[in-house]
Amino acid sequence: MVSSGQFLIDSEASLSGVLARLENKQPASNEVSAPHMLHEATGKVESITAGKIVVSHGPVATLNWPAMTMGFKLERADLAATIKAGDQVKLRFGQVGDDYVVSQVEKLGSQP
């Protein structure tokens, strides 16, 4: 029985160490983590501000989403440097925590 109690103490200490390491790897407050699994959508940019883009996009099959208008965080503000409201775009995005984060945005077609 003593060995099983020691095992529990060792396991808890090990888990505490893992949690501490994960907490220390959080991104700086002005950075957004890159998503692990990416999805694609195409649509029209409704608005764009520093760090956020709102797009009316078509269905996203990989998430079983219907067409909708929603806001996404930008992984980096410079991703949308050449994008403006009204542009047709293709997005690659993923989920980071409770947020959907765009890691790539590409203007579609020949737009002025």
Report the alpha-carbon distance of residue 29 to residue 18 in Å, rounded: 22
- The DSSP bridge partners found for residue 72 are 53
Report the alpha-carbon distance of residue 12 to residue 68 in Å, rounded: 44
Burial, 111: exposed, middle or buried (Cβ in 10 Å; 0-12, 13-18, 19+)? exposed
pTM: 0.66
Domains and CATH numbers, the chain: 39-107 (2.40.50.320)
pLDDT score recorded for residue 54: 97
Alpha-carbon dihedral angle through residues 14, 19, 22, 27, given to the nearest 10 degrees: -160
Q: Which residue numbers in the chain have pLDDT < 50? A: 7, 26-31, 35
| 3-state DSSP assignment of residue 81 | coil
pLDDT score recorded for residue 106: 94
pLDDT tens, residue by residue, 61-83: 999 999 999 999 999 989 989 99
Where does residue 97 fall: left (phi above 0), alpha (psi -120 to 50 degrees), or beta otherwise? left
Structure-token pair, residue 29: 């407050």
